[in-house]
Amino acid sequence: MNAIVGYVVALGCIFGAYIVHGGNMSVIIHALPTELMAIFGGALGAFVVGNQSKTLKATMKTIPQMFKGSKYTKARYMELMALLYDILQKVRKEGLMSIEKDVEDPHNSALFKKYPTVGSDHHVVEFITDYLRMMVSGNLNAHEIESLMDNEIDTHHHEGFQAVSAVNKLAGALPAFGIVAAVLGVVNTMGSVGQPPAVLGGMIGSALVGTFLGILLAYAVFEPIGGVLEQKLDEGTKEFQCVKTVLLASMQGYAPQIAVEFGRKVLYSTERPTFAEMEAHVKGKK
């Protein structure tokens, strides 16, 4: 919804100001098809050439997410904390081997089924169970697991950033393709210098529409897309960091309630529950 409202405001104000100053929309509308073909055609071709197939697929899959609200809400984080608290409580009371079945088959685990929002997220469940499995095996210490977690989180962030980088590069190239379209229009105009001034003026105006569209599409359309996608990627990374903090605190001997508090403190303030909210929630989910 924010994206739609933002686009309406941006485009409405830009074209509204043009009309208020006496601009003729017919000039832009007349030049629009050919200028867009030159700009989008050139940009799309360069986009395909400049990115691997996996990056192209990831970008196409990621862009629609900008029109969806963030899934990383306070309620989701509270559910995640309650899940981790329950797991650690079970470990504290019954030992590490008591969660072996939960780790090996989380889809049929009563613990994970109790929290459907987080339990249905394949990436989060896999991250949790992978490191719980290492904890059960007992072959790695906290420092080794922390290093491995950091590497995995960095890899996840870098992989997700490839789509963001591709969109940002596309945004950066659009003004140049707008200039290319404008130059083609000027070349066409120079080939018609014998025409009356009114005709030449219209042709020059149409050529300049290319520069205008290239800049408009870059900074009012595609660069905001890259910005939103980067923010969403950071939110996803923050969830992994939260899980990492809780599990490492547990490995270092802290009680489940304290370990969950460690995880709560790494969250962004806009989604971070208070200590009282977190305590009441995890204990109420028993």
Alpha-carbon span 231 to 48, nearest angstrom: 24
pLDDT tier for residue 263 given thresholds of 50, 70 and 90: very high
pLDDT at residue 286 greater than cutoff 70: no
- In the chain, pLDDT over 90 holds for what percent of residues? 49
Q: What are phi and psi of 120, to 5 degrees?
A: -95, -5
Q: Whole-number mean pLDDT of the chain?
A: 88
Q: What is the pLDDT of residue 208?
A: 85
Residue linked to tokens 């018609």 = 192
- 3-state SS track over 169-228: HHHHHHHHHHHHHHHHHHHHHHCCCCCCHHHHHHHHHHHHHHHHHHHHHHHHHHHHHHHH
- Whole-number Å distance between alpha carbons of 46 and 49: 5
Domain ranges of the chain: 30-286
Q: Are 15 and 212 in contact (CB under 8 A)?
A: no
* pLDDT band at 15; cut points 50, 70, 90: confident
Minimal CA–CA distance to 281: which of 257, 265, 259? 257
b/e map 191-205, b = 16+ CB within 10 Å: eeeeeeeeeeebbbb
72-81 pLDDT tens trace: 999 999 999 9
- The model's pLDDT over 82-141, given as tens digits with 9 standing for 90+, comes to 999 999 999 999 888 889 899 999 998 988 999 999 988 999 999 999 999 888 877 778
User: What pTM did the predictor assign?
Assistant: 0.82
Interior/surface letters 234-244, b for 16+ CB within 10 angstroms, e for the rest: eebbbbbebbb
The span from the CA of 103 to the CA of 119, in Å, is 12
CB 272 within 8 A of CB 77: yes
Taking residue 41's Cβ as centre, other Cβ atoms within 10 Å add up to 12
Name, in order, each residue with C-beta under 8 angstroms of 221's C-beta and a sequence gap of 6 or more: 7, 171
